Each structure stands twice: as structure tokens, then as C-alpha cells.
Amino acid sequence: MKYIGVWLFAAFMLSGVQTARASPLLSEGDMRECDVLMGRAMPAAFDTVLKSAKAAAATGEAADVMRYGIILHNKMTCINEESMESTAWGSMLFNEDESKVEVIRPPMADPAETPELASTLREAVRTFEQVAETEPDARILLGKYYSDYHDFLRKPRKGYLYVAGVYSAECRNVKQRKARPGNRCMSLRHDRIVYNSLLPFTQRDRLDIQARAWGDRHLARIAQ
């Protein structure tokens, strides 16, 4: 197979603590430190902030749900890095029309063998799914979890639907793609491609209809 392109990816922390509401106990920088997120530094302060974020998320307010979810996401990044002793990048090789793709994943811890990762992953999925109907960033993260941890979560249809929905809403034509910051549409396209090995084309084709329906709803909602 002759490849003409490569897409690099890795699990990153989200400076999403856009995430953590300002706290007198921990700074935004503290909330991106693995020593804090793993409970080795300032454990009492982190426990207080985490409980507060979880309580706020329980109200259902989207911003609070996202803050709590991204704390969980960042903790998973730390667990993966420390369990695998690696921050290695994965890669995706593809030909011109992307009909042939080879995905080389970065090292990822197995939730089935890492109880802390399993519990944090389940909580992150539960949290982000509370706001998946209205929050594109929640859908993107869920799409990554359902592909990265496919053997553990085993719901590729849900993951594909989440990613394809956001792609449909934000990247369905050239004008939309150019309006998106950075490489968001390229990232979304390749998040979809990862599912080529997890779902047959016939299933993806049917899910694309549902994804476009979500995209239409989202566009109508933000236009109001």
C-alpha cells in the first residue's frame, strides 16, 4: 500500500480547566498537574475541588458538567501516561482518497487491568453523555473514548454517531471547514476514519443519516 499522508495524535490534557471553576484551593495550573490529579500533591484540596465540581455537575448545567468531565479526562491522561510510562504519539497513514488507512495507536492502559482508569472512564462517559445532545466537545471526547477503549466499552455505534454528528454540523462544506479554528475538521474526519475498522460500511452509512439529523438540530439550536 502506498501512503501519501500521515496524521499524528496522542492523548492530551485539556486546558479545559476552562474546566475547573476558579478555586481558592487550587489554581488552573494545579488542575493540570498529574501529581495533583493523582492525589500525590495537595490531596485534601483536590478532593474538595473534585467533590465541589461533581456536585455542581449534578445540577445539569452544561458548563458545570463539562468542567467536571474535563477534570476526569485529564486524570485519565495522567493514569495512561503513568501506567504505560509513555507519552508516545500514535499515527494514521492514509492514501489520497482515504480509502486505505492504517492506524497505529499510542500505548494506552487497559481499563480491564487498571481499576482506577476503569472507574474514571465510566464516570467520564456518564458525565459527558449528560450533555451530549447539546455540547459538541462532549461528543468529540465520547467518540474518542468509544474508539480508544473499544474493547472495554464495546459500543462503537454510539461513538461513531457522536463524532459523525459533530462533523456533519461543523464540517459539511468547505465554507464551514474554513471557518473552524486550527485543524478541528481534519481531527474530526480522522476520528471518524478510526471507526472504519470497528464498524462495517453499511452500519456507518445508516448512522451517518442519524448523525446528519443531529447536525441539523444543532445548527438550528445555535441559530436561535
The residue ranking higher by pLDDT, 101 or 108, is 108
**Domain end marker among 79, 95, 130:** 130
Compute how many other C-beta atoms are within 10 angstroms of the C-beta atom of residue 15.
13
Compute how many other C-beta atoms are within 10 angstroms of the C-beta atom of residue 96.
10
d(CA 37, CA 24): 17
Above 80 in pLDDT, residue 21?
no
d(CA 89, CA 67): 26
Q: Are residues 6 and 102 part of one domain?
A: yes
Convert the pLDDT of each residue in 107-151 to its tens digit.
Answer: 688 999 999 999 999 999 999 999 999 999 999 999 999 999 999
Q: Are residues 115 and 4 part of one domain?
A: yes
pLDDT value for 156: 96
* Domain extent at residue 145: 132-224
d(CA 127, CA 121): 10
Q: Quick check: 135 and 66 in contact, CB under 8 A?
A: yes
Residue 146 phi, psi dihedral angles, 5° rounding: -70, -20
pLDDT value for 92: 56
Above 90 in pLDDT, residue 8?
no
- Beta strand 5-9 with 90-94 is antiparallel
Above 80 in pLDDT, residue 12?
no
Total number of domains constituting the chain: 2
Location of C-alpha cell 477534570: 71
Q: Are residues 139 and 59 part of one domain?
A: no
Q: Are residues 194 and 158 part of one domain?
A: yes
pLDDT band of 51, cuts 50, 70, 90: very high
Above 60 in pLDDT, residue 16?
no
User: Helices (H) and strands (E) in the chain — how many of each?
Assistant: 10, 3
DSSP class of residue 61? -
Convert the pLDDT of each residue in 152-208 to its tens digit.
Answer: 999 999 999 999 999 999 998 777 766 666 678 888 888 898 898 899 999 999 999
Instruction: State the cell numbers at 188.
Output: 474530526
DSSP class of residue 107? P
Compute how many other C-beta atoms are within 10 angstroms of the C-beta atom of residue 212.
16
Residue 6 phi, psi dihedral angles, 5° rounding: -140, 140
**Domain end marker among 107, 130, 153:** 130
Instruction: State the cell numbers at 157.
Output: 455505534
For the segment 72-98, the average pLDDT, to the nearest whole number, is 72
Above 90 in pLDDT, residue 18?
no
**Domain end marker among 77, 102, 130:** 130
Q: Are residues 167 and 99 part of one domain?
A: no
pLDDT band of 99, cuts 50, 70, 90: low
Query: pLDDT above 90 covers what percent of the chain?
Result: 50
pTM of the model: 0.84
Q: Are residues 171 and 97 part of one domain?
A: no
